[in-house]
Structure 1
Amino acid sequence: MPTRILRDGILTSERVNELGALEEVFYRRLMSVVDDHGRYYGNHSLIRAACFPLKLDKVSDSDIGKWLLVTEKAGLVRQYLATDGKRYLQLIDFGQRIQAKSKFPEPDGDSLDSTVIHGDSPCDTGNNGLVVVEGGVVVEGGKAHTRKPRVTKTALADDFGISERVQAWAKEKGHTRLPEHLESFRAKAKANGYTYADWDSAFMEAIRNDWAKLGSSQKSTVSNGNSVAASRPL
């Protein structure tokens, strides 16, 4: 389990003060399992097993879901959907020393845009309780590192279709049955309220991971050096 530095700023944090006793215990336990970037799986069962290994009979998945919503509303946690179609979470203003690359995908273009983080940051890293963000550069303890600019995510447009970019990519990679992939992708995106900064990239990822469950027939096969069409036409 990673070592965490927990500053006394958590005691005076207005955001933490919004939590009830159970939610605060959950939040503090969550700090112990996230990686250096403050990220972890968003699956409630995985969070429950990691945070409450000795209380599995007392804490339910629904409890985890309720506590996540409360901490998210308080501005302490964000949940996000990555391009792999899975949900993850990230602690906001985690402020730990980053020693390893995250094994979890980062929020796509969803970086924090606050300009100054004071002692209200629950995981304040020191530096007199101040982290200054200037022109996309975070100055912390005399060291600076760049922060990616915020990219706006949007909901699926009603007229979203198969662009020339996607067609060219699919042809190069051998993917077929694009209309069926599109139908599945649109349905899933609408049903789950997905938002992306780049919908073409998200669609290509869905095709690559076969969201439509078309199996091997989604690609053309090769016989005697000649391309043979998939079992169902586009």
Structure 2
Amino acid sequence: MYGVTANHVLVGDGHQPLRDVVAAELRRLILDGTLRPGERLVEDRLAQLLGVSRNPIREAMRVLEAEGFLDVTARRGAFVAILSAQQAEDLFHVRLALEPLGARLAASVEDRDETLVARCWAILELVKESGPEQDLDTLSNLHTELHSLIFEMTRNSYLIAIAIPMVKRGQWLLRQSAPLQKPAAWAQHDGLITAIEEGDADLAEAAARHHVLSVRRGLMPRLRPA
């Protein structure tokens, strides 16, 4: 049976579409390690765990499969995906293509939504104020939100549709390997958001590329076999 964490709640009484609520909860259980890489997921057990019927479980699993969190085959069923070193490397190749582009486009928007920029600064301030006492679940979610906001600033629906699942998959990688509870993991975001806010597309693109390369440099040695 699946374990239940202190933060676990039944989702059957939520007011959002059940598919989205269930997907968010399953994603959280994967990210915090309750559902482990390689673990087989059984619809009936998940339905009982989350207090919903099998249909929203099935729909949510399709969402998570598309995001790369699950591997699903017709005969074997659904399993929590195992992120190999090669898959992590592939993810960084995509990040290096999309994140600098997203930063450049976000900085280039003339009538930028300043509420999105303000939220980015609020996230960074919250992390600075909370320091290492902030729990990893919250930090991971804030990091995902911050990078998602940058893509939202672009107003490019095609880029957003491609990039947001990548950001969520990247969160999983960071949860497994990166010290999000250390200030160094957040330090580079200040320059990135400043460049976007000032409309400096070249600097924003360079800052985003430097950030991705820096994260890659810190993570990949931990994922490759010794």
| TM-score normalised per structure 2 | 0.33
Structure with the higher helix share, 1 or 2: 2
* Higher RCO by CA contacts (8 Å cutoff, separation 6 or greater): 2
Structure with the higher strand share, 1 or 2: 1
| TM-score normalised per structure 1 | 0.32
